[in-house]
Structure 1
Amino acid sequence: MTRHLPPTGLHVPLVTPFDTEGRLDAAALEGLGRELLEAGARGLVALGTTGEPTSLDPAERATVLDVCARVGREHDALLTVGVGGGDTRTVERALADLADRPGVGAALVPVPAFVRPSPAGVLAHFARLARATPVPLIVYHVPRRTGCSPGAECLRAVLDLPGVVGMKLSPDVIDGETVRLMGTRPSDRSILVGDDHLLQPLVAMGAVGGITASAHLATGRFAEFLAAAADGVDHARTRVLGHALAELSAALFREPNPTVIKGVLRARGRIPTADVRLPLLPASRDAVATAGRLLTAVEHRGVPARAITTGGSRPVTALIPPGGDR
C-alpha cells in the first residue's frame, strides 16, 4: 500500500447502501465500490461521515471493511478507513485494531468533536496517534463538525509529524488560515480537498486530490478534472468542467449528506434504496430532482477532445463544451 502514499487523485468516501428491510446491503456496496474504481477513482474511503458509521453496529462495520478491502485489493487501490472517537485513547485503540486488517492502507482521523482542544492539545493528540498507529494517518480538518479550528501553524506542525501522510481539508470557506496553510504545506504531504464545492480553487492553490463524496456521481468527470489539473493542461476547459462539478456538488449537499447522493444513486438504479438511518431523513424529491438534472448536464456537457496522458497512467479525456470554451 505504501506505493499509493502520499495519496493523490480522486478518493470516494462510500455511502452505506441499505436494502428494503433496512439492512446493510453488502452486494450493493461491493458493486458501487467496483464502479467507482473502474470509473477513475484511485481509492475508497470506508466508514467516513458519508457512510453513516455511527449508525452501524460492530458487525456491520466489520462487513463494510471486509467488502471494501476486497474491492481495493482487486483494483490495486488505496483503502482509507475513517477512525474517530471522543478522546485520544479511544482513537488510539481503534487505530490499533487496524493492524489486523492488511487491506487498510491509511486512516482518516479528525480532531475529537465537541472537546475543542487548544492548538497544543491538537498537536499532542496527533503526535501520540502518529507514534502508535499501525497505518499512515490522513488528518481530517473539518471545523464545522468538530468545533475546533486550531489554525495554520498548528496544522502545519501536525502535517510534519512522522506517520502523517496528508490532510483532508474541509475549511468550509477559504479564509486567511487556509491560504497560509496552503502556502506553507510540506511538499511531501498531500492536501486532499474535502469540501467538494471548493475542489477547483483548492486544487489551484496546490491540493493534489480530493476525498469527494459528490464523485459517487460523474466519477469519470471528477477524475478527468483532477488529472487535467495535475498535468497543468487545457486550463480553460478544466475551468469549465470545474465550475460544472462545483454546481453539482452544491446541489448534492443541499440537504444533509449523504441523503441527496443516495437519492440520486437510487434514481439511477445503482443502490436498492435511498434509505438513511435516523436522525437523518431521506432527501426531498425536489433536491434529488435538481441534482439529477445537474448530473445529466455534467455527463453531457462536453465531447471527447483528445487524450491527456496522466503521468503514465491510463489516459483521460479533455472536454470541449458545446460552443467552445464558454
Structure 2
Amino acid sequence: MTITAPLTGVVPPVCTPLTPDGEVDVPSLIGLVDHLVAGGVHGLFVLGSTSEAAYLTDAQRRLVVETVAGHVAGQLPVLAGAIDMTTPRVLDHVAAVVAAGADAVVATAPFYTRTHPAEIARHYRLIAARSPVPLFAYDLPVAVHTKLSAELVLELAADGTLFGLKDSSGDLGAFRSVVTGARTRPDISGFTVLTGSELVVDSALALGADGAVPGLGNVDPVGYVRLDRLCREGDWEGARGEQERLCGLFGMVGVGDPGRMGGSSSALGAFKAALYLRGVIACPLTAAPQVPLSEGEVERVGKYLAGAGLL
C-alpha cells in the first residue's frame, strides 16, 4: 500500500516467533499479526531489534516479510528493516524486502567502523536513490554506536532523502528538536517522527510526535492503541494513567538474571514468554546465542501479565 505522509499511530515492532529448532514459526507469526491487527494497531514494523533481525538469516528475513505483507494484504502499512553494517549490504536487503512486499524500509547508520556524519548522510542518500519505497532512519545508538543528530535528520528530511525517523535513542531533547524542526521548517513537509520508547509515548505525543513503535505493543497492543487515542483526544490525565499501567507492565523486561544473561535476552525473552502465556505464539524461544528464561522467570512474566489484567 502507499504510505501517506505522515504515518501516525501505533506501529509495533513485530516479534519473530521461532520453532523449537530455531526456524521462523509461520503459523505463530500469522497469529501474532492477527493479534496486533485485532488490537487496532496502525502499521507493522518487521525486522527491527524486537524482531531479532540481527539473528536471522537472509532467507528467514525474507520469509518474515513475505508472511506478514502477504497476510495483511494491504490492510496496514508494513515497514521492514534493512539493517546491516555497510551501504552495499543494506541495498541488498532493500531489494529483498521490497520484493517481498514491504511498503517502506528502515535503516540505521552504517556500523562496525567509525563513520563521519558526511558518510552517514551519503549512506542514506545512496539508499534513498535505490529504494522504490519510502526510507525511514532508525536512530539506535545502543547498537550502532552512532547518534543521529537532529541537524542531520532534518537536513535529510528537507532534501527528501528521509520519509521519517524511528527514534530509539532515549534522548528526548534531541527527539524534541527533530519534532519541532519537522513542524516549523518551511522546507520540510509530511515528515514522520516516531518514538521507539515504550515508557514515554504520552510525552512524545505531547511534544508533537506522530506515533510510537513500542516493543511492548506486541504484548498489549490494545493498551498502546488506547494510549494513542487518549493523547489525540487531549485526555492527558487518562493518558498518563494508561502510560503508567504500561510502564508497570514493562517491568517484565527485567525478569532475567543479569548474572547469566544480557538485557536483550531478558527483554525479548519476556515479550515472547508473555505472548506464549497469552496463547498468541506456540514457543517462546529466542534466537541463539541469547539465553532462554528459566521456568521461574517465565512465571514472573505471568505475574506481570496478571497484574495488568492480561492473563
Where on the TM-score scale, by shorter chain, does this alignment land: which range? 0.7 to 0.9
Asked if the contact 2:9/2:211 (under 8 Å) is kept, the reply is yes
Q: Which piece of structure 1 moves more, 280-289 or 63-72?
A: 280-289
Deviation, structure 1 residue 57: 2.5
- The aligned counterpart of 1:59 is 59
From the superposition, tell whether residues 200 and 114 of structure 1 become closer, same or farther in structure 2 (CA, over 3 Å). farther
Given residue 70 of structure 2, which amino acid in structure 1 is its aligned partner? R
Matches within 5 A, 1:143-222: 143-174=141-172, 176-186=173-183, 188-222=190-224
- Separation of aligned partners in 2, 1:58 and 1:204: 38
From the superposition, tell whether residues 124 and 59 of structure 1 become closer, same or farther in structure 2 (CA, over 3 Å). closer
Given residue 36 of structure 2, which amino acid in structure 1 is its aligned partner? L
Matches within 5 A, 1:1-326: 1-73=1-73, 76-101=75-100, 103-174=101-172, 176-186=173-183, 188-232=190-234, 234-252=235-253, 255-256=263-264, 257-285=267-295, 287-299=297-309
Q: Which piece of structure 1 moves more, 160-169 or 129-138?
A: 160-169
From the superposition, tell whether residues 58 and 151 of structure 1 become closer, same or farther in structure 2 (CA, over 3 Å). closer
TM-score by length of 2: 0.87
From the superposition, tell whether residues 97 and 19 of structure 1 become closer, same or farther in structure 2 (CA, over 3 Å). closer
TM-score by length of 1: 0.83
Question: Which has more strand, going by share of residues?
Answer: 1
Asked if the contact 2:110/2:144 (under 8 Å) is kept, the reply is yes
Deviation, structure 1 residue 94: 2.1
Deviation, structure 1 residue 253: 6.0
Percent of pairs with identical residues: 25
- Separation of aligned partners in 1, 2:169 and 2:58: 30
- The aligned counterpart of 2:260 is none
Deviation, structure 1 residue 136: 0.4
From the superposition, tell whether residues 250 and 178 of structure 1 become closer, same or farther in structure 2 (CA, over 3 Å). farther
Deviation, structure 1 residue 3: 4.5
- Separation of aligned partners in 1, 2:155 and 2:137: 12
Asked if the contact 1:43/1:72 (under 8 Å) is kept, the reply is no
Q: Which piece of structure 1 moves more, 158-167 or 289-298?
A: 289-298
Q: Would you identify which runs of 4 or more consecutive aligned residues in structure 1 move more than 6 Å?
A: none
**Structure 1: which 5+ runs fail to align?**
301-326
Q: Which piece of structure 1 moves more, 92-101 or 18-27?
A: 92-101
- Separation of aligned partners in 2, 1:114 and 1:145: 10
**Structure 2: which 5+ runs fail to align?**
184-188, 256-262
Per chain length, whose mean CA-contact separation is higher, i.e. which structure has more relative contact order (CA < 8 Å, sep 6+)?
Answer: 2
Asked if the contact 1:199/1:246 (under 8 Å) is kept, the reply is no
From the superposition, tell whether residues 275 and 41 of structure 1 become closer, same or farther in structure 2 (CA, over 3 Å). same
- Separation of aligned partners in 2, 1:180 and 1:24: 39
- Separation of aligned partners in 2, 1:127 and 1:238: 38
Q: Deviations over 1:126-162 (max 9, x none)?
A: 1221122111011101111110014221121122232
